[in-house]
A and B are shown apart, each in its own frame.
Chain A
Amino acid sequence: MRPRRAGEPSELDLMAMACLAPSLLYVLVMFVYPFLYGIYLSLRPLKVEGFSLANYFAFFSDEYQYKTVGITFRLAVPNTVVVVACSLFFAYNMRRGIWLERTVTTILVLPISLGVILLSQGILGFYGGKGWFNQMLLGLGLLEESLVLTHNFTGVMLSLFMQQFPFCFLMLLGYISGIDPSIENSARTLGANPWTVFRRVMLPLIAPGLAIAFALVFVMSFATFPSAILLGQPTGATRTIAIAAYAQAFEMYDMPYASAIAVIMGLFQLAGLLVIILLRRRIVMAATMGVGKR
């Protein structure tokens, strides 16, 4: 290639730009424009002329609205922790393959293919007041009366877990089984017991994958909508922020207020992601420093 003068674009750059254009256009049209339009809309309340933060003030001054944030966090955070912890446990212990691995994996992954509605229907039937789960426990004499597991907080948690566990498990299994086994073998020969291997060697190596898993599961849980309606109390205990936005948009026909709620939801998700990134750094640092610091 001939030498390039400063400021002059190279042929390679032009080629790269040309190849990038279609996907850039797609992102602009399908994501950036609607996103910015949503922000714009949220700043144009119906009752006020011109730009105003009135919708945001309205949300945070109305207890019925702002407590949806707390409800959503109380669903999303425990669910994320439980899903990722279970996935990590299973994926870590299955990293070198297990007996009947394919069958086990298929069973674990099946819920993903069913869709939320069918899954919720199944949970209602199985865990409901007259469902098999309660019937079985009553029949065995382990219970005096049926457990209430649906149309409340527990029901939504069950549904979220079943949707997100397979996805999270598969992601972590791929991540963990990709780590060279000789790394943990070498740690063993250097005197580390299995727990130390996990804590000092494997966990820092899994941390990036774990952070991605946390981020994705958290964002999905935070945006939960169908589960909260089908298996929860959409007007009470499980009125999540997504339901609040939906109600403003399609029950009150106040699109600007709904947009404001959606933007608020996005900001909280972003805050969650930031916390996850900071925690990830801590995991890696804690393990690398370890005992006997330099």
Chain B
Amino acid sequence: MSEPRDRRWLSFLGLSGGLAMFVAEALIVVGLVTLAWLTSVLILSVL
């Protein structure tokens, strides 16, 4: 059941293989930086 959804994931950009791997890794880094930024905003506004 999950396979068609897997194919859709990132495929909207026409990405596959090694390029899709890079985009996924970049998205993870962007997500982590966003999390760090939000945490910093929260901490500095509280302290």
Answer yes or no: are A and B bound together in one complex: no
